[in-house]
Amino acid sequence: MSGSADHGRPGTATGDRDHDADLLWLVDIRRLRSEHRGRRQITGTAAVPDLRLETAEVPGDSVGYELDIDATGSDVTVTGRIDVVWRADCRRCLDPIERSETMRLQEVFQVVEIEGETWPIVDDRIDLGLVVREHVLLALPLAPVCRDDCGGPDPDDDHGLLQPGSDGPVAMSDPRWAALEQLHFD
C-alpha cells in the first residue's frame, strides 16, 4: 500500500501493515501541491474500520470512492462520491437486508478549523478517513426495513408475516385474557 501516486490511492502509506488502513486515508498536502499542482483525483476501494451501528454494518468495512482533491490557497476542498454496501436485519420481520448506498461528498479542510463546518489540516495532512466514516455512518439506517410495507411477523403464526394492507390479527385466543372479553364499556 505504498506509493499513492502510482495506485491512485489517497494516502501516503508507509510503515508496517498495522498502520496501512489508517495511513491510506491521509493525504500529504505539501506533496499534493508540489507533485500534482494542487489537484488530484483518486478512485478505488479501501477499508475504513468499524463501519457499523447496532442496526446495520458495512461488511468488510469496504468503501468505494471517487474523490477530487483541490488544494488552493490555504484551503483544501474534497468533492466526489462514496459507495458502500450495507447489511442489516429488517426491524419488522428480521429477514436479512443488503442494500447499496451512494453518498455525495463536499468538504473543506482548513488549518484553523471552524467547528461543524470544516475539517482540520494537521501537520500539512488531511485525514479523509474521518470524513468518509462520518458520511457512511450517517447514511446507515437506524431502523432498517426490507420494504416499506413490511408487516412484520404474524403474532398468530410463528412463521408467517402479516400481509400488506391487512387489518392485523383477528382475536387472540389466550385463555388468560378471556375474563377481559366479558367486560363491556358503554
Which among 118, 140, 125, 175 has a CA at the least distance from the CA of 63? 140
**CB atoms < 10 A from the CB of 76, how many?**
24
The angle at the Cα of 41, spanning 34 to 137, to the nearest 5 degrees, equals: 120
- Which residues are CB-contacts of 77 (< 8 A; sequence separation ≥ 6)? 69, 70, 106, 107, 108, 109
The predicted structure's pLDDT at residue 154: 65
| Measured distance CA(168)–CA(66) in Å, rounded | 46
Q: Which residue has the cell 468488510?
A: 60
The predicted structure's pLDDT at residue 35: 80
Contact by Cβ (8 Å): 49, 59: no
The predicted structure's pLDDT at residue 73: 83
The predicted structure's pLDDT at residue 182: 81
The predicted structure's pLDDT at residue 185: 84
CA distances from 138 to 52, 59, 141 (A): 10, 16, 8
Assigned domain for 154 exists: yes
Assigned domain for 78 exists: yes
Q: Read off the pTM.
A: 0.68
Q: Which residue has the cell 436479512?
A: 96
| Residue 147 CA to its chain's centroid (Å) | 19
| Residue 46 CA to its chain's centroid (Å) | 13
Assigned domain for 164 exists: yes
The predicted structure's pLDDT at residue 168: 53
First to last CA, the chain: 76
| Measured distance CA(95)–CA(90) in Å, rounded | 5
Segments forming the whole domain that contains residue 174: 4-181
Cell, residue 96: 436479512
Low-confidence ranges of the chain (pLDDT < 50): 1-21, 169-171
Count of domains for the chain: 1
Q: What is the DSSP letter of 124?
A: T
The predicted structure's pLDDT at residue 14: 32
